[in-house]
């Protein structure tokens, strides 16, 4: 990257620095594009503008102290990251989680997944120039934020999970509100499909655009909707069931081609599956404790541990090395967006500037998650 | 003697008419822009489950005036290494032709500034000027997004001019005149929208593309090119681009009203109502504008190559075919 400006510029080539300040790079991603007219010859995603050193921070924090950091990596699916981190520590320290807490975690994680997908839905269509669906989906998302706000006390970075359970119990109002939300979102699909999914312009903008096929997705370690859109039915919730997902009935939607339209459809179907999961979990929600008795300072035994969960964007893994003290020796977070973003270097060349936006939007990256 | 008489005539009633007309048009353009900005924000807001401006004045109607005052107060920034003269010229060049186009539009039976026998030609000649200003502005900004926006604008506007003119040509053939008042008169029985619906559709689509409105707003696609050709413009210069955009909307809607929707004439079945032609004219024009606003807030944006394919592969052949078919029909009927 050091010599990017040293290459001779001919009349045909045209360098464009898209980002870090650009309306559609979703945060602080910088795309360094080499253009021929409007066609992209080379694309280089430059990351690191949102680097905060979370992994290094973990080494000087107690296990408990790092908890809030986990939901700040991916601010759109904070609760799922939270869940992943907490579950990793529980696996290390051998903590049993009461079933009620597990169910609450699953309900909240799925709500969080829907809120992340709804935000993606809105911003993706806005990237393509349709402004109205954005406000519709944000209106729905607002409901989820209110529901999660009631139980966790925050709207974006939840830090709701605790070692051995969750911070606060849910009440009847939470359950009614969640039921109402499930009904509400189901009644909204028609609007969304009429406005976007069946829109001829949208289909033209998304179909056969940015094909990430099975081979490419596997080579770059893509996970989540991108991998599933390429036809690989891999979902951590099914492949390595954690929490109570093995007791719940849901399907893994997959695509065939791996283009932007497939990724769109996979995410929309995933939202429906999440609603289905939430309904089941609410029905089976057992009574009992919400938190196991856990020592004040967790001291996991010596060794290295890995635990993965499925976030809205793919597999999130926490690899933690413990030296037997109450501070982790090393913490490494495997985040989905990192692999998902790198695939751009292969997919973007040959497409138009407008497609770049469509592809970037369909990949659904969260840059602070990439940078950590 | 005759030349002397002509001069007196010109300096007298004709000049007075033009001066009054231009002042009137200037007022109309400003008020229209203020109103349309408010209307667009209000309509968009209600489409999007919002309320829109509501603080300044009743229903927020004074919001755009306040915004305008703010824009006047802003600093005019010229980017470094920009072509200063062209950069300054572009907003003026984009705005001036707007005024000329209004000269030949018949607002009512008597209210038109000059009834030229080449009215239609004049309007399209001057509306083409818009492209030049956009190109100059995008080029002079010395910004890559502006340049890409300008390139897109030129390609798009030049391409869409062809089917637009072909659609208008059918109307001209039908009414046998380029004079706006004659074209209105030829619709006294049947509006052209009913006698040639396809041409109307082609005209409206191309007019949307000509005015760079969504879903054809690729020259200023904000999610791709930040703000396209006017990325670097600030203050009153930006306001002039903005003013020109809304005035162009008014012009194309007014031209569409004149060419296809019977101009200032009342709908045939409502002829008994004592409503002046001026009211009918503006009612139709703003109804058309409302439709373009509605479309803008409903559809996503097309991609550049799809837009061009749509024009060259669908619109132009359709317009050409339409022209040939109607030429045959006119030949048989008369």
DSSP for A156-218, please give it.
Answer: SS---EETTEESS---HHHHHHHHHHHHHHHHHHHHHIIIIIT-HHHHHHHTTSS---HHHHH
pLDDT above 80: residue A190:
yes
- Facing A353 at nearest CB: one of B49, B148, B215: B148
User: For A151-187, how does the pLDDT look when each residue is reduced to its tens digit (9 = 90+)?
Assistant: 888 888 888 888 888 888 888 888 898 989 999 988 8
| pLDDT value at residue A10 | 59
Residue with tokens 């005024």: B99
Whether A34 is in a domain gets the answer no
pTM for the model stands at: 0.84
Report chain B residues whose CB lies below 8 A from the CB of A356.
Answer: 224
Give the total number of structural domains in chain A.
1
Helices then strands, each counted (H, E), chain B? 14, 0
| pLDDT value at residue A12 | 67
Mean pLDDT taken over chain B: 83
Report chain B residues whose CB lies below 8 A from the CB of A353.
Answer: 148, 224-225, 304
CB-neighbour burial class of residue A84 (10 A; exposed 0-12, middle 13-18, buried 19+): buried
pLDDT above 60: residue A1:
no
Q: Which chain B residue is nearest to residue A361, measuring alpha carbons?
A: B223
* Mutate which: B145, B217, B227, B303, vs A, most A CBs within 10 A: B303
| pLDDT value at residue A266 | 92
| pLDDT value at residue B139 | 85
Put simply, the answer to whether A136 touches B48 (Cβ < 8 Å) is yes
Report chain A residues whose CB lies below 8 A from the CB of B44.
Answer: 131-132
- What is the span of the domain harbouring residue A120? 53-371
Whether A265 is in a domain gets the answer yes
Mean local confidence (pLDDT), A7-24 = 72
Q: Which chain A residue is nearest to residue B224, measuring alpha carbons?
A: A354
Q: Given CB atoms, is A360 within the 8 Å cutoff of chain B?
A: no
Put simply, the answer to whether A38 touches B148 (Cβ < 8 Å) is yes
Put simply, the answer to whether B300 touches A136 (Cβ < 8 Å) is no
DSSP state of A21: S
Do A223 and A212 touch, CB atoms closer than 8 A? no
Q: Given CB atoms, is A214 within the 8 Å cutoff of chain B?
A: no
| pLDDT value at residue A117 | 92
Whether A115 is in a domain gets the answer yes
* Mutate which: A128, A200, A350, vs B, most B CBs within 10 A: A128
pLDDT above 80: residue B222:
no
Whether B35 is in a domain gets the answer no
More confident residue, A281 or B219: A281
CATH of the domain at A229: 1.10.645.10
Distance CA(B8)–CA(B15), nearest Å, equals 10
- Facing A355 at nearest CB: one of B48, B225, B303: B303
Report chain B residues whose CB lies below 8 A from the CB of A196.
Answer: 300
Q: Out of B48-57, B212-221, B248-257, which region has the weakest mean confidence (pLDDT)?
A: B212-221
User: For A219-264, how does the pLDDT look when each residue is reduced to its tens digit (9 = 90+)?
Assistant: 888 888 999 998 888 888 888 888 888 888 888 898 888 888 899 9
Q: Which chain B residue is nearest to residue A17, measuring alpha carbons?
A: B144
Whether B305 is in a domain gets the answer yes
Give the total number of structural domains in chain B.
1
Report chain A residues whose CB lies below 8 A from the CB of B304.
Answer: 38, 352-354
Put simply, the answer to whether B302 touches A204 (Cβ < 8 Å) is yes
Report chain A residues whose CB lies below 8 A from the CB of B299.
Answer: 129-130, 199, 201
What percent of chain A is predicted at pLDDT more than 70?
97
Q: Which chain A residue is nearest to residue B215, measuring alpha carbons?
A: A129
User: For A266-291, how does the pLDDT look when each residue is reduced to its tens digit (9 = 90+)?
Assistant: 999 999 999 999 988 888 888 888 88
Q: Which chain A residue is nearest to residue B221, measuring alpha carbons?
A: A129
Distance CA(B269)–CA(B11), nearest Å, equals 43
Whether B23 is in a domain gets the answer no
Report chain B residues whose CB lies below 8 A from the CB of A205.
Answer: 300-303, 306
Distance CA(A344)–CA(A320), nearest Å, equals 29
Q: How many residues does chain A have?
A: 372
* Confidence grade of residue B5 (pLDDT, cut at 50, 70, 90): confident
Report chain A residues whose CB lies below 8 A from the CB of B148.
Answer: 16, 38, 353
Put simply, the answer to whether B215 touches A127 (Cβ < 8 Å) is no
Whether A41 is in a domain gets the answer no
Whether B15 is in a domain gets the answer no
User: For A106-128, how does the pLDDT look when each residue is reduced to its tens digit (9 = 90+)?
Assistant: 999 999 999 999 999 988 888 88
Whether A339 is in a domain gets the answer yes
Whether B135 is in a domain gets the answer yes
- Facing A132 at nearest CB: one of B218, B297, B302: B297
**d(CA B299, nearest CA chain A) in Å:** 5
Query: Vertex B257, ends B255 and B259: CA angle to 5°?
Result: 65
Of A2, A77, A81, A73, residue with least CA distance to A44? A2
**d(CA B213, nearest CA chain A) in Å:** 11
Mean pLDDT taken over chain A: 86
Return the structure tokens found at B291: 């439709």
Report chain A residues whose CB lies below 8 A from the CB of B222.
Answer: 23
- Facing A127 at nearest CB: one of B223, B304, B306: B223
What percent of chain B is predicted at pLDDT more than 70?
98
Q: Who contacts A10 (Cβ-Cβ below 8 Å, separation ≥6)? A: none
Q: How many CB atoms lie within 10 A of CB B108?
A: 17
User: Per residue in B303-332, is it b (16+ CB within 10 Å) or e — as a string?
Assistant: bbebbbebbeeebbebbeebbeebeeeeee
Do A223 and A235 touch, CB atoms closer than 8 A? no
3-state secondary structure of A320: strand
- What is the span of the domain harbouring residue B131? 74-333
Q: Count Cα neighbours of B330 within 13 Å in the Cβ-side half-sphere.
A: 16
Whether A75 is in a domain gets the answer yes
Whether B184 is in a domain gets the answer yes
Whether B195 is in a domain gets the answer yes
pLDDT above 80: residue B44:
yes
ipTM higher than 0.85?
A: no
User: For B152-196, how does the pLDDT look when each residue is reduced to its tens digit (9 = 90+)?
Assistant: 888 888 888 889 888 888 888 888 888 888 888 888 778 888 888
pLDDT above 50: residue A2:
no
User: For A287-314, how does the pLDDT look when each residue is reduced to its tens digit (9 = 90+)?
Assistant: 888 888 887 888 888 888 898 899 888 8
CB-neighbour burial class of residue A320 (10 A; exposed 0-12, middle 13-18, buried 19+): buried
Whether A38 is in a domain gets the answer no
pLDDT above 50: residue B125:
yes
Put simply, the answer to whether B299 touches A201 (Cβ < 8 Å) is yes
């Amino acid at each position: 990257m050091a010599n990017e400006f040293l290459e001779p510029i001919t009349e045909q080539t045209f360098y464009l620095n898209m980002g870090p300040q650009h309306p559609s790079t979703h945060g602080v991603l910088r795309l360094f594009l080499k253009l021929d007219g409007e066609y992209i010859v080379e694309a280089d995603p430059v990351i690191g503008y949102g680097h905060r050193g979370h992994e290094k921070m973990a080494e000087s924090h107690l296990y408990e102290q790092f908890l809030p950091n986990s939901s700040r990596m991916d601010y759109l699916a904070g609760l799922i990251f939270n869940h992943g981190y907490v579950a990793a520590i529980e696996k290390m320290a051998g903590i049993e989680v009461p079933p009620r807490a597990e169910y609450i975690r699953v309900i909240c994680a799925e709500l969080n997944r829907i809120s992340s997908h709804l935000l993606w839905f809105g911003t993706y269509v806005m990237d393509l120039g349709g402004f109205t669906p954005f406000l519709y989906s944000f209106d729905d998302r607002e409901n989820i934020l209110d529901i999660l706000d009631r139980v966790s006390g925050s709207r974006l970075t939840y830090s709701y999970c605790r070692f051995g359970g969750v911070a606060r119990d849910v009440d009847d109002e939470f359950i009614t509100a969640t039921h109402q939300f499930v009904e509400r979102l189901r009644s909204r699909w028609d609007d969304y499909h009429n406005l976007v999914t069946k829109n001829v312009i949208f289909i033209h903008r998304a179909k056969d655009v940015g094909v990430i096929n099975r081979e490419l997705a596997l080579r770059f370690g893509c996970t989540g909707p991108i991998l599933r859109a390429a036809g690989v039915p891999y979902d951590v919730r099914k492949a390595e069931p954690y929490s109570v997902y093995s007791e719940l009935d849901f399907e893994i939607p997959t695509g065939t081609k791996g283009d932007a339209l497939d990724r769109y459809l996979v995410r929309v179907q995933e939202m429906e599956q999440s609603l289905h999961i939430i309904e089941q979990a609410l029905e089976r929600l057992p009574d009992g404790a919400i938190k196991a008795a856990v020592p004040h300072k967790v001291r996991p035994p010596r060794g290295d541990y890995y635990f993965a969960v499925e976030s809205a964007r793919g597999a999130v893994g926490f690899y933690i090395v413990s030296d037997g003290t109450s501070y982790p020796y090393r913490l490494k977070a495997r985040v989905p967006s990192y692999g998902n973003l790198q695939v751009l270097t292969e997919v973007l060349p040959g497409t138009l500037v407008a497609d770049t936006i469509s592809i970037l939007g369909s990949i659904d990256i969260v840059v602070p998650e990439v940078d950590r | 003697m005759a030349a002397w008489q002509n001069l007196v005539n010109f300096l007298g009633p004709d000049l007075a008419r033009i001066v009054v007309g231009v002042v009137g048009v200037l007022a109309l353009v400003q008020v229209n822009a203020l109103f349309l900005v408010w209307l667009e924000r209000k309509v968009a807001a209600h489409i999007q489950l919002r309320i829109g401006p509501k603080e300044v004045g009743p229903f927020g109607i004074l919001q755009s005036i306040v915004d305008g005052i703010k824009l006047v107060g802003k600093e005019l920034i010229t980017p470094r290494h920009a072509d200063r003269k062209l950069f300054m010229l572009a907003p003026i060049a984009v705005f001036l032709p707007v005024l000329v186009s209004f000269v030949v539009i018949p607002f009512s039976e008597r209210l038109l500034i000059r009834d030229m026998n080449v009215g239609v030609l004049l309007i399209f000649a001057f509306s083409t000027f818009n492209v030049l200003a956009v190109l100059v502005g995008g080029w002079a900004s010395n910004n890559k997004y502006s340049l890409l926006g300008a390139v897109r604008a030129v390609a798009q506007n030049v391409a869409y001019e062809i089917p637009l003119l072909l659609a208008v040509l059918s109307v001209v053939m039908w009414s046998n005149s380029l004079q706006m008042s004659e074209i209105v008169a030829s619709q006294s029985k049947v509006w052209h929208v009913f006698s040639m619906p396809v041409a109307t559709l082609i005209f409206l689509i191309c007019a949307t593309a000509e005015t760079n409105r969504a879903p054809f707003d690729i020259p200023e696609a904000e999610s791709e090119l930040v703000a396209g050709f006017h990325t670097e413009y600030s203050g009153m210069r930006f306001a002039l681009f903005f003013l020109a955009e809304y005035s162009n909307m008014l012009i194309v809607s007014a031209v569409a009203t004149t060419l296809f929707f019977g101009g200032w004439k009342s709908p045939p079945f409502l002829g008994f109502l004592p409503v002046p032609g001026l009211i009918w004219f503006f009612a139709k024009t703003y109804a058309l504008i409302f439709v373009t606003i509605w479309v803008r807030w409903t559809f996503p944006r097309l991609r550049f190559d799809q837009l061009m394919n749509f024009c060259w592969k669908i619109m132009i052949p359709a317009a050409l075919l339409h022209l040939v078919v109607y030429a045959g029909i006119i030949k048989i009927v008369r």
